Amino acid sequence: MLDRIVNQDDSRGAGQGGKDNLPVVTKFKILFEKPNCNGNSTAMPMLSLPAHHQLNQLLFPLDVYAHYEGSNSSLKYSPVSNMEPTPCDVILLGNVLLPKSNSEGTLFTPQNTSGILFHRVGYDNRFDSTALVLTCDRSSSGELNVGKIFGDLFQDTMKRMSLTFTQEEEVFSARENYPMRPMSVVSVLGDYFHDN
């Protein structure tokens, strides 16, 4: 597969090769599963939970939160404490630092606030998901608890927002459970704890 790097459309199409090709390493995974049908022929064919987790690892690599301490050139990691596994059917889509503008609206700088997107996947429960018991919580299906997922990384007061993080929907505690509907996306705004 070829990946081209151009700043703008150069009007080249199929059969018109460019000279700026870049080799790209692509990862593929194949998951073989056998469904447990037991006469349930009305089930909607979807990905299984293990398949969703494999896909999630490819599309959304793990975010690492590193804390730099002192003038030493090496990073020292401050692990977040009090974390618990996420529900198996809830996927962290993204965690983005949101910009803050100056009074003229011309300069944007990162602020101490992060926008977090969660997605509850729809899945085919005819496939075995016991292999996920070590990586996620199978007992709390669709129950989002941001405080359990991120531990003490964020302050307790958070906001549910529109998907663009422009409109506030409600203020809530990070420690409360929020039931997500299947195949829904929830956006949350949170302030990081910071030590000065």
Sign of CA dihedral 143, 145, 146, 149: negative
Which residue range is the domain that position 104 belongs to? 50-192
Domain presence at residue 38: no
CB neighbourhood size of 37 (10 A): 9
Is residue 39 assigned to a domain?
A: no
Whether residue 98 contacts residue 111, with contact meaning beta carbons closer than 8 Å, is answered with yes
Angle at 166 between CA 163 and CA 168, to 5 degrees: 85
Q: Residue 173 gets which letter from DSSP?
A: E
Residue 188, pLDDT score:
93
Check if the beta carbon of residue 159 is closer than 8 Å to that of residue 188: yes
Task: Tell me the average pLDDT across 4-26.
Answer: 63
> pLDDT tens for residues 48-101?
888 888 888 888 776 665 555 555 545 444 555 556 777 888 888 888 888 776
How many structural domains is the chain composed of? Answer: 1
Q: Is residue 34 part of a domain?
A: no
Residue 28 in any domain: the answer is no
Rounded to the nearest integer, the mean pLDDT of the chain is 77
Find the CATH number of the domain harbouring 132. 2.60.40.1360
Whether 9 maps to a domain, the answer reads: no
DSSP H or E stretch at residue 188 = strand 185-192
- The pLDDT value recorded for residue 187 is 93
pTM of model > 0.75: no
Q: What is the pLDDT of residues 136-163, one digit of tens each?
A: 887 777 888 888 888 878 889 999 999 8
